[in-house]
Chain A
Amino acid sequence: MAGPPLVELRGLSRAFREGERERVVLRDADAVVRRGELAVLVGKSGSGKSTLLNLVAGIDLPTAGEVLVDGIALSRLSERDRTLFRRRHVGFVFQFYNLIPTLTVGENLLLPLELQGRATPERRRAALDLLDEVGLGDRAASFPDRLSGGEQQRVAVARALAHDPTLVLADEPTGNLDLETGLAVLDLLDRLTRRAGKTMLMVTHSPEVVGLADRVFRIEDGRLVERPAARATEERAVAVP
């Protein structure tokens, strides 16, 4: 069921200088996420979840250790190459949606494709079909500020998948939504990524997501600990009658 490793963390550490002293956010973390898995990252506020997500995206660089995505060590790439890597392989969903306010919903969706210079008519159509799938096919020409929070996040989900990335990173995608809307967005994310066989790493507080995850990681005092996932246990329970 699970494929070969897509994301590998090897001895990953990240510390920040705060005046004279050093604050270690992540200490010697090791982990593997396989292709097609949904991995969630939980922990208290300020525990370093977003830092880990940024390290996996190549937005931030580790103090020690390495992040490998699809076998590529991100820290060995130049800043520009990491940006281009992200452009090609990563889709992002943020807590505050972060749609580009000066682009229409449709244009927001096409932006990642265009950045890659791969906006062929077929791909454009496919991207806009995604908008139908998130239920906003009629809103392509609207600007984001005309949409509700839930609608904006649905557009953000579609945008994260529009350019067919290998890895989807989501940073508390339901953190800013009410329970019902949040569940709808989660369902959408899960459905779309799983169907397309994408790998997703999500930071969340939501117990519902934890319930759906293949892997659950927790950050406690800078340590990354893997906890048994409910879904994995269920599957094993099914497999071993």
Chain B
Amino acid sequence: MTPLLRRSGLRHLARHPWQAGLSVLGVALGVAVVVAIDLANASAQRAFTLSTEAVVGRTTHQATGGPGGLPEETYRRLVLAAGIDEAAPVVEDWVTVEAATKAAGKAASDSPRVLHLLGVDPFAEAPFRPYLGPGAAGTDVSALLTRPGAAVLAAGTARELGLVPGGSFTILAAGQRRRVELVGVLEPDDETAGRALADLLVVDVATAQELLGRVGRLNRIDLRLPDGAAGAELLARARRALPPGATVAPAGARAARTEEMTRAFRVNLTALSLLALICGVFLIYNAMTFSVVQRRTLLGTLRALGVTRGEVFALVLGEALAVGLAGSLLGLAAGVLLGRGLVGLVAQTINDLYFVLAVRELAVPPAVLVKGALLGTAATLLAALAPAHEATSAPPRAVLIRSSLESAARRALPRAAALGLALLALGALLLAVPGTLLVSFAGLFGLFLGAALLTPGATVLLMRLLRPAAGALFGLLGRMAAGGVVAALSRTGVAVAALVVAVSVAVGVGTMIDSFRGTVRRWLDASLGADLYVVAAGRPGAPLDPALAARAAALPGVSRVDAIRQAEVPSERGPLRVLAVDLDPRGRRSFELRQGRPAAAWRAVAAGRGVLISEPLASRWDLGVGSRLRVSSPAGERVLAVAGVFYDYASEQGAALMALPHYRRLWGDPFLSGFSLYLAPGADEEAVERALRRAAGPDRALAINPNRELRRRSLEVFDRTFRITAVLRLLAGLVAFIGVLSALMALQLERARELAVLRAHGLTRGQLWRLVTAQTGLLGLAAGLLSLPLGLALAAAMVHVVNRRSFGWTVRLDLAPEVFFQPLALALGAALLAGLYPAWRMARTPPAEALREE
């Protein structure tokens, strides 16, 4: 392409600023959403890696036990009997800094500051975490060992909390208020180490044991084993030195598993963000087609002057490239800004659903930006391929007519419809056959593309049906409006398709969320039967003294107490979450079985012969009634027989439910994670709560939630989880809206002459306004009618396929009555809104001006 041709292309863009601007905006928004989600995911992952690195250090292997951890003497046995020189004992948990301490610092937010309490032996640390060993910058190691409750923090964290060495503060550890003294601060040399340390509260092993109420127990022992035969030999010796139920695994395995937990969540977000980009592709296709149609004469002249087809193709693609690059660059900037907002939502969801993660900043890896820019540019070029091809077919003659394009578009209808049907069938097939999550998303995109290809044909049919009605209602103008939609099908078809995709995403995702919420609400109603729920404050799930439950049962006004212990135990398939319950037979009603006969299943559980597993676990590990699962415990290897599968929406990882005595027999863990109180009729909830706090003593911090409060909080977490989905849905809708606006502007401006002729013949401004509005209304109507089936299909696919494959949950599809009107209202509203400006502009253009324009 010659410089002059290139210049003429760029000037064309500059001369049509609204057209170019909307295209750039469409690409920018699509890229921004993709980049923002990518950055939010990357930031969460980076925060996770940093915190893992800080804690794992240079550890090669980790020895862990069951829920009770490892006995202290295991450490001695590993060092002395197995001859492993490099071993370090670790006691750890999440603790919360009491609000009073925090208020002394900068009380920027209301959420409590959560710290990772890491109990280590400073003299064993040097090979593992040099920043914690003797001589680490700023630490007084001896103070850690000699003073009770002594701790160190990263210098920045201490500043943030308003603490200076020598000062003390209160933390909530395992449900108890404890006093900790800051004896020193860590001054990490580099920024990375600083970020990694920001969440650590480092203490001596013995201090940690005391703070957490786990005297004599370790969470794990970190090992450094050499590579090769010597390492293998040491590993074998270590295994022999471990007590039953304990295991040694490579250090990376745990991190990999934790990361794996959030994979489905991240894939879902990425897929949703791609939808916004797809809407952007429609927009570009539309805008580029318009710019080609607009210049058919010009392209014909160029061809007559000797410009080859290849050069015309390159000219159009070159313009698309300019739009794509500008949009992508703008999108990157917007994506980083949007990412700042989304990272908080992503981190919140991970904290609500998976594990504690402090994401303090937005990581911006260059790879994400490069990927975003490439994706945006490639999508733009892809969208411009068809218009560029169309441009090369401009015959090299001076007199050209648009009708040839329209007749070509009309001729392509049967082919597009056939391809659309094939894609729909392929999409449905991919959704129907068992497969991975990615296959399901491929199926969903198949549905979308298929529906988009069917849209122009369906629009023609609809207009044929609507034309008489429009004529009866609005006379000749109504018939003209309907005819205009069909006459400019190459433009209107794509606009309607973009609107159909966006509206059905809105409706489908909305229906999915509502169905999910309805299912969770029904499940909460069925499973939350008690009046008061008690867990440790600070970190729910932290061990509680079982005596507390006994004391609660004896309180006046309490008729019954159900206790529960949640723990993670090693199994042949990886770590298994166990819910050990001491359920009164009345409490069993809260577990609805999906598989297995309730009476027999509960008998097996009560007798310690079997377990119930939750639906996500059954789906994740492909288990059912009759399956067996091998677990290791201090009592040796045991086989758990699955007696039933229950509905559960508490965790997507799934859990196995067993009788509390059965659990204690196997793992010897006496603690509870929580208990629920059933009150006697007429008992005062608040009085019982006060009595319970008195019975617990002043140092014990309990979170006591009444039933309705727990329900409210559960739904709050649910809603928070889907907030990011709502944001994405909105952004995809915005891109589609811009697409419709751009298409309508193009359509109306293209018809400027025709409309001016009508004005010259006496059409009033008001009539012109009505004509344009009727046409946009018809477009919206068509999109609304077509999005209903697609939206419902999408909802069904998300509920029954994507959701099951991602999380293994059974969700009942709830179709609220408004679902049937919503698409119409959304599409009609969007189209009419988008039509306002073009209509206003056309009505204001003096007819003489439009007629004069060649």
Which residues of A line the B interface, CB within 8 A? 50, 54, 57, 59, 79-80, 83-84, 86-88, 90, 92, 94-96, 98, 100-103, 107, 110-112, 114-117, 171
Contact = CB atoms under 8 A, between A and B. Distances in A.
Contact of B307 (A59, A95, A96, A115): A115
Contacts of A94: 301, 304, 398
B395 interface: yes
Contacts of A87: 305-307
Given A94-B398, A114-B4, A171-B398, A100 B302 contact: yes
Contacts of B8: 100, 102-103, 107
Contacts of A86: 304-306, 396
A100 B3 CA distance: 14
A79 B309 contact: yes
Contacts of B307: 83, 87, 115
Contact of A95 (B2, B4, B9, B398): B398
B301 A98 contact: yes
Nearest to B300: A98
B7 A107 contact: yes
B306 A59 contact: no
A162 B4 CA distance: 15
B2 A114 contact: yes
A107 B4 contact: yes
Contact of B398 (A88, A96, A101, A107): A96
B128 to A, nearest CB: 67
A80 B309 contact: yes
A114 B302 CA distance: 13
Interface residues on B, range: 20 to 34
B297 interface: yes
A149 to B, nearest CB: 10
Contacts, number: 82
A102 B15 contact: yes
Interface in B1-38: 2-5, 7-9, 11-12, 15
Contacts of B397: 50, 54, 59
A115 B298 contact: no
A115 B307 CA distance: 7
Nearest to B297: A98
Contacts of B311: 115
Given A100-B302, A102-B12, A115-B306, A59 B396 contact: yes
16 contacts: A57-B304, A59-B304, A59-B396, A59-B397, A83-B307, A98-B398, A102-B9, A102-B11, A103-B7, A107-B8, A111-B4, A111-B305, A112-B306, A115-B305, A115-B306, A115-B307
Describe A's contact surface by its main secondary structure: helix
Contacts of B395: 59
A116 B2 CA distance: 9
A84 B9 CA distance: 21
A18 B304 CA distance: 25
B662 interface: no
Instruction: Give the residue among A86, A94, A110, A115 with the most B Cβ atoms within 10 A.
Output: A115
B297 A103 contact: no
Which 9 residue pairs across A and B have the least CB separation, nearest first? A87-B306, A102-B11, A98-B301, A102-B8, A114-B2, A86-B306, A94-B398, A59-B396, A83-B308
Interface string B185-214: 000000000000000000000000000000
Contacts of B12: 102
A78 B311 CA distance: 16
Instruction: Give the residue among B7, B15, B304, B307 with the most A Cβ atoms within 10 A.
Output: B304
A24 B11 CA distance: 42
B854 interface: yes
A115 B314 CA distance: 14
Nearest to B854: A96
A147 B297 CA distance: 19
Given A90-B306, A102-B8, A107-B8, 11 more contacts: A86-B304, A86-B305, A86-B396, A87-B307, A94-B304, A100-B302, A102-B7, A103-B11, A110-B4, A112-B306, A115-B306
Nearest to B302: A100
Nearest to A83: B308
A187 to B, nearest CB: 23
Nearest to B10: A102
B303 interface: yes
Interface in B113-131: none
Interface string B714-740: 000000000000000000000000000
Instruction: Give the residue among B305, B309, B397 with the most A Cβ atoms within 10 A.
Output: B305
Nearest to B11: A102
Contact of A115 (B2, B7, B11, B396): B2
A102 B305 CA distance: 16
B293 to A, nearest CB: 16
Instruction: Give the residue among A102, A103, A112, A116 with the most B Cβ atoms within 10 A.
Output: A102
A83 B11 contact: no
Nearest to A156: B301
A88 B298 contact: no
Nearest to A116: B306
B308 A100 contact: no
B642 to A, nearest CB: 71
A89 to B, nearest CB: 9
A70 B396 CA distance: 22
Interface string B801-834: 0000000000000000000000000000000000
Contacts of B5: 111, 114-115
A83 B306 contact: yes
Given A59-B396, A94-B301, A96-B854, A103 B309 contact: no
B302 A92 contact: no
A102 B11 CA distance: 6
Contacts of B7: 102-103, 107
A88 B306 contact: yes
Interface string B287-328: 000000000011001111111111100000000000000000
Contacts of A84: 306, 308
Interface in B29-74: none
Contacts of B310: 80
B305 A112 contact: yes
Contacts of A98: 297-298, 301, 304, 398
Contacts of B298: 98, 100-101
A79 B393 CA distance: 12
B7 to A, nearest CB: 7
A116 B309 CA distance: 15
Contacts of A59: 303-304, 395-397
A77 B746 CA distance: 39
Instruction: Give the residue among B3, B301, B302 with the most A Cβ atoms within 10 A.
Output: B301
Contact of A114 (B3, B11, B309, B396): B3
A117 B2 CA distance: 8
B401 to A, nearest CB: 14
Contacts of A88: 306
A88 B8 CA distance: 21
Interface in B225-252: none
A121 B52 CA distance: 67
Contacts of B301: 94, 98, 100
A100 B8 CA distance: 8
B398 A83 contact: no
Contacts of A107: 4, 7-8
A171 B11 CA distance: 28
Contacts of B854: 96
Contacts of A103: 4, 7-8, 11
A124 to B, nearest CB: 12
Nearest to A107: B4
